[in-house]
Chain A
Amino acid sequence: MIDFELNEEQQLIVETVRAFAAEVIRPAAHDADETQSIPQQLIDQAWELGLVQGSIPEAYGGYASQASALTGTLIAEGLAQGDLAIAAHILAPRLVVDAVLNAGSEEQKKEILPLYCKDRYVAGAAAVLEPRWDFSCNKMQTTAKCDGDDIVLNGEKCYVPLAKTAPYTVVYARGTDAPIEAYLLPAGTPGIEIGERESLMGLRALETYPVTLTDVRLPASAKLPGDASALLRRSRVAQSAMAVGVARASLDYSIEYAKEREAFGVKIAQKQAIAFMLAEMAIEVDAARLLNWEAAWSVDHDNDSSRKVALARGYTDNAVMMVTDNGVQVLGGHGFTRDHPVEMWARNGRGFAVIEGLASV
């Protein structure tokens, strides 16, 4: 029957992530955005939470008991509520891990997954977007063509997180058999050119790069045999979860501010215009969260997931923009300065509608 309750293990994960996000991530967020960097110590600390290793089955060195798209969603939401860029960095390994787990061959799993079960953080990356205003996942211009026993990749990718430090990047390309296919690209393969680090409106603490592939040659075994479109769906679920986290941060912060700030003799929260704005924000956060939980659940249960993920994604993209924009509005002139995080959350908020492959569940 319909049930919105988290089980005990999920509740524990949510609480653990919430505490880490509030106590460790959020205090570091402002400086990270200003300096466009994340302290390594924070990444190491996050690694100890086992959020990546916890999604890898024991057979490959992890300690997954409950890996599921839903659990990954709860994690992504909680971390992003601390900070989006930091969350994306922490979860970047899952761009590779989730792709291999869900679409990889047994050999690929054996080769790659143990790398992510060590006691140190190892980065992961995914290359999805291409530098065109009308980029379309269904009409990628990066190609994968057969040449003898090899695959040859050509194309230009952008917004590739951690391209310089990830030992593997999952490259999504228009393939030999399907419009979207995924390939495991080891760092250092000849033909890869990583450009200068990008400067984006938001996500500024996350290192993202343009990557050009010129006749990059891979063995046929580099192809992920499973359904690459399904992987992109998992990435959308993760992104939408992070959007909910960012929206939630903006809502909570605005509520607190509005209850303190005075105008016309009362707290501004006591004025209907502000109060109703906050009420609408609260409704949208909850609506987006529930839609995305349903989407995650539908991935786990193979239940009309392509439609549900698409609906949740579209809705959440709009909701997070509305909420984070209102967050700036509630703080007025102060919201426009970088003293408060609301403008950063609005800059981050706009990203969800344009980005693919930021995280995965």
Chain B
Amino acid sequence: MNFELSKTAKQRQKLFHSVAENMMRPISHQYDEAEHTEPDDFFQAMWQATKANRMAESPSGDAAASNGAAASNGKSASNGKPSEATLVTAVQIEELSWGDCGLYLSIPNPGLGGAAVSAVGTPEQKQRYLKNFYDGEPKWGAMAITEPHFGSDSKQVATTAVRDGDDWVLNGTKIFCTAGQRALEKSDGFVVVWATLDKSKGRPAIKSFIVPAGTPGVTVDRVEDKMGIRASDTAVITLDNARIPFDNILGTPEIVEKGRAGFKGVMATFDATRPIVAASAIGVGRAALDFVKDKLAEDGIEIRYEADRHDMTVLEHEVIDMEAQLQAARLLTWRACWMMDRGERNSREASMAKAKAGLAVTKVTQKAVEILGPLGYSCQWLVEKWMRDAKINDIFEGTQQINLMIVARSVLGYSSSELN
């Protein structure tokens, strides 16, 4: 057992912390205030930097994707040592989110759409959409699942996909699509859209389709005005007889009624992405905690970890609790990542991590504003922004309640029909 980060992990942590501090924090407030503007310099800088580091090392999508694909066989690094790719990704993302969660989510990247292509795409699809992703100008990949009438209940997909000769024709509306506008309108990117071949057939008929920028019939209606992560564009997309090549379907066009293997495959990618979102949440929480401790230290207030209960000030109690909550979330997250890296199924652990992290960061950031009084509440400091940024982490990529449901089913050994 070992609780020390590897040398590699520490190096990456340092590097990404530097990006967070030097490239993100200075523009954090600006892009929070000026929602719906484009931090182009930041995009260019990140694009150039990540061009050099492909596949396993880029933030968000790719490492999760490649690990998602490797989930069943425990990918090893070339030196024969066990992989730590997912864990290192989590460490990196914690740093970037410490910098600015909205900007992190905005980094030009294949994203969740790319993760899907990487996990279940054919070699030809990967070639077309991923291989040259980092060529040319910044690009985004995105994933569009949610529709106005559902979020958690993802089998309710009503967007349709109908075969028409060599094409699919898609009709429907998608909402809450992160990077959807940048993927479809601001770059030569793509969105992976969930659509159904036959709504009466439920889950087995739901497939994913690669919808590239420039597809006729695809419109970005608007981007949401949000509580937080304002630098990230959250798009409403309409598909009105949108036409894509037949080959753009991910996985089989067959409706395999019994197996549900396709749907399960997609759900398995959530096992890879949930710990990463948890890591992002922890980064935001840590930003708030670090800030509180720095402010207290400026006034000569030190946290005495070993003070006795009755000697501790209220402040010490609160800060210590914040710190313990975050560390608990962090260890649960690292455990889920570690299992992924060993090729172990980690659905329970991934959902535990996400549930804990979402809750912890919400409480930690709310407490930070409370502790810092009138200045905490003011927009002069970033701490109120972190509270606004934090909340989404308990909602997207599986709400707190859905993740508790997954944990509950797992510990009880219940199927979704037995517990819902």
Contact = CB atoms under 8 A, between A and B. Distances in A.
A122 interface: no
A237 to B, nearest CB: 13
Contact of B311 (A2, A5, A136, A259): A136
B4 A255 contact: no
A121 to B, nearest CB: 30
Interface in A259-290: 259, 269-270, 272, 275-276, 278-280, 282-283, 286-288, 290
B304 to A, nearest CB: 9
A51 B76 CA distance: 37
A297 B1 contact: yes
A2 B3 contact: yes
Contacts of B306: 138, 229, 306, 310
B84 A2 contact: yes
Given A290-B328, A298-B3, A303-B4, A2 B87 contact: yes
A258 to B, nearest CB: 8
B255 interface: no
A286 B412 CA distance: 16
Given A139-B308, A275-B412, A270 B418 contact: yes
B310 A134 contact: yes
Nearest to B335: A4
Given A137-B308, A138-B308, A4 B404 contact: no
Contacts of A276: 401, 404-405, 408
B2 interface: yes
B2 A3 contact: yes
A79 B419 CA distance: 33
A14 B306 CA distance: 30
B311 A294 contact: no
A315 interface: yes
B408 A2 contact: no
B81 to A, nearest CB: 8
A1 B2 contact: yes
Given A2-B5, A290-B335, A297-B1, A311 B411 contact: no
Most B-side CB within 10 Å, residue of A5, A286, A303, A312: A286
Interface string B305-337: 111111100000000110111011101101100
Interface in A288-333: 288, 290-291, 293-294, 297-298, 301, 303, 306-307, 310-312, 314-315
Contact of A283 (B2, B356, B409, B412): B356
B338 interface: yes
Interface range, A side? 35 or more
A70 interface: yes
B395 interface: no
B88 to A, nearest CB: 9
Contacts of B84: 1-2
A85 to B, nearest CB: 23
B378 interface: no
Contacts of A270: 414, 418-419
Nearest to A276: B404
A282 B332 CA distance: 12
Contacts of A293: 1, 3
A255 B1 contact: no
Contacts of B418: 270
Given A6-B1, A297-B2, A136 B419 contact: no
A297 B409 CA distance: 32
Nearest to B332: A287
A10 B321 CA distance: 31
B3 A294 contact: yes
A136 B308 CA distance: 6
B126 to A, nearest CB: 29
B305 A311 contact: yes
B408 A275 contact: yes
Contacts of B162: none
Interface string B290-307: 000000000000000111
B331 A294 contact: yes
Contacts of A139: 308, 311
B311 to A, nearest CB: 6
A2 B405 contact: no
B325 to A, nearest CB: 8
B407 interface: yes
Q: DSSP class of A's interface residues: helix, strand, loop or mixed?
A: helix
A136 B310 contact: yes
Contacts of A255: 411-412
A298 to B, nearest CB: 7
Nearest to B418: A270
Nearest to A288: B328
A237 B325 CA distance: 18
Contacts of A70: 1
A224 B3 CA distance: 30
Nearest to B342: A5
Contacts of B310: 134, 136
Contact of A3 (B1, B8, B324): B1
B87 A286 contact: no
A247 to B, nearest CB: 13
A269 B1 contact: no
B71 to A, nearest CB: 18
Nearest to B8: A1
A269 B419 contact: yes
B308 A2 contact: no
A269 B413 CA distance: 10
B87 A4 contact: no
Contact of B332 (A6, A279, A283): A283
B240 to A, nearest CB: 39
B418 to A, nearest CB: 6
B352 interface: yes
A279 B408 contact: yes
B338 A4 contact: yes
B345 to A, nearest CB: 15
B407 A282 contact: yes
B321 A314 contact: yes
A258 B408 CA distance: 12
A1 B13 CA distance: 13
A288 B332 CA distance: 10
Interface of A: 1-7, 10, 70, 134-139, 229, 255, 258-259, 269-270, 272, 275-276, 278-280, 282-283, 286-288, 290-291, 293-294, 297-298, 301, 303, 306-307, 310-312, 314-315, 353
28 contacts: A1-B4, A2-B338, A3-B338, A4-B334, A4-B338, A10-B1, A135-B308, A136-B308, A136-B310, A138-B306, A138-B307, A139-B308, A270-B418, A278-B408, A279-B404, A279-B405, A279-B408, A279-B411, A280-B404, A283-B352, A283-B356, A287-B332, A291-B331, A301-B4, A303-B4, A310-B320, A311-B320, A314-B324
What 4 A-B pairs have minimum CB-CB distances, sorted nearest first?
A1-B6, A287-B328, A136-B308, A310-B305
Given A282-B411, A287-B328, 10 more contacts: A2-B2, A5-B1, A136-B311, A259-B412, A270-B419, A272-B419, A282-B352, A283-B355, A283-B356, A294-B327
